[in-house]
């Protein structure tokens, strides 16, 4: 059996979080679906061992030159597609068509920052984001390939957070405090 850790949208500029590095070290293979942001973060993942990656839309020019936009990896006879942006819209049905186009048994994709797993008949997996989730907990995906069979599941890494919600809340608090400072005439 091959245990794969799928990651996307780390959006880091510094060191890897300890929990993420530990999960990556324990996996047989790490797949990153783009948006490292810096070459240093890519290199940190690369040093951990068996690692494959594609570039994302937020990656540096240097990373986009280094990494392909799409990649197919074969594990135990199972074809795994890896891409950052699987659709140009919010229509996740388009992801299935990309999996067919790439002729893969499973497609791992990023960009949406929300975990997603569906079998249609290909396995479609978005690991979400371990550092900047949107309306979800920080997550990664665990994929198991065993004798040509593939299974995937989402692993939550903490409580649900969303930086946009925190930003909106800070604006709301700011307006409330502004109203308290100025008397209404």
- How far is 97 from 147, CA to CA, in rounded Å? 26
Domain ranges (residues) in the chain? 2-160
- How far is 6 from 32, CA to CA, in rounded Å? 6
Tell me how far CA of residue 173 lies from CA of 158, 160, 162, in angstroms.
Answer: 25, 21, 17
pLDDT band at 164 (very low <50, low <70, confident <90, very high): low
CA atoms within 13 A on the CB side of 182: 7
Q: CB-based contacts of 171: which residues, under 8 Å, 6+ apart? A: none
Q: Helix H segments across 48-106?
A: 61-66, 93-102
CATH classification code of 2-160: 3.60.21.10
Quote the DSSP letter at residue 100: H
Rg over alpha carbons for the chain, rounded to the nearest Å, is 18
Q: Helix H segments across 39-114?
A: 39-47, 61-66, 93-102
Least trusted range by pLDDT, from 35-44, 82-91, 107-116, 141-150? 82-91
Least trusted range by pLDDT, from 55-69, 78-92, 95-109, 117-131? 78-92
The residue behind tokens 């140009």 is 88
Predicted local confidence at residue 117, as pLDDT:
95
Is the peptide bond between 23 and the residue preceding it cis, with omega within 30 degrees of 0?
Answer: no
pLDDT, tens digit (0-9, with 9 covering 90-100), for 19-66 = 999 999 999 999 999 999 999 999 999 998 899 999 999 999 999 999
Predicted local confidence at residue 172, as pLDDT:
66
pLDDT band at 158 (very low <50, low <70, confident <90, very high): confident
């Amino acid at each position: 059996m091959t245990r794969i850790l799928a990651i996307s949208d780390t959006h880091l500029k510094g060191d890897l979080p300890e929990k993420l590095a530990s999960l990556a070290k324990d996996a047989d293979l790490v797949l990153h679906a783009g948006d490292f942001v810096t070459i240093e973060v890519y290199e940190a993942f690369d040093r951990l061992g068996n690692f494959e990656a594609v570039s994302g839309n937020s990656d540096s020019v240097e990373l986009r030159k280094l990494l392909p936009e799409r990649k197919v990896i074969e594990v135990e006879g199972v074809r795994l597609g890896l891409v950052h942006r699987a659709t140009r819209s919010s229509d996740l049905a388009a992801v299935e068509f990309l999996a067919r186009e790439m002729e893969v048994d499973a497609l791992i994709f990023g960009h949406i920052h929300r975990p997603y797993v569906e079998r249609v008949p290909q396995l479609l997996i978005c690991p979400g984001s371990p550092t900047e989730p949107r309306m979800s907990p920080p997550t990664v995906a665990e994929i198991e390939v065993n004798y040509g069979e593939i299974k995937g599941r989402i692993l939550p890494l903490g409580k649900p957070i969303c930086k946009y919600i925190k930003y909106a809340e800070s604006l709301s608090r700011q307006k409330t405090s502004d109203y308290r400072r100025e008397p209404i005439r």
